[in-house]
Amino acid sequence: MNNKIVGIILVVVGAALAVWGYNIYDAAASQVTRAISGDTPIEAWGGMIGGVVCILVGLTRLK
């Protein structure tokens, strides 16, 4: 597959992952859990960090 196509796919998937992770982080249940115990759901961190990594890898493929 062409590197530019792979790069575009990675950027789109990364953006979706980052938004999904932030939505989990910002959910009401997560806010209550953070207020009580200070813990953040691992899915939120995984989504946000995974999304940023996908975006960065995708941008390097676009060049």
Neighbours of 59 (CB within 10 A): 13
Determine the pLDDT at residue 16.
Answer: 97
Going by C-alpha positions, the residue among 3, 8, 11, 9 that lies closest to residue 51 is 11
Other CB atoms within a 10 A radius of the CB of residue 18 amount to 19
Label residue 53 exposed, middle or buried (CB < 10 Å: 0-12, 13-18, 19+). middle
pTM of the model: 0.84
Among candidate residues 60, 26, 63, the one with its CA nearest the CA of residue 43: 26
pLDDT tens-digit profile, the chain (63 residues): 799 999 999 999 999 999 999 999 999 998 998 899 988 889 999 999 999 999 999 999 998
- What are the structural domain ranges in the chain? 3-62
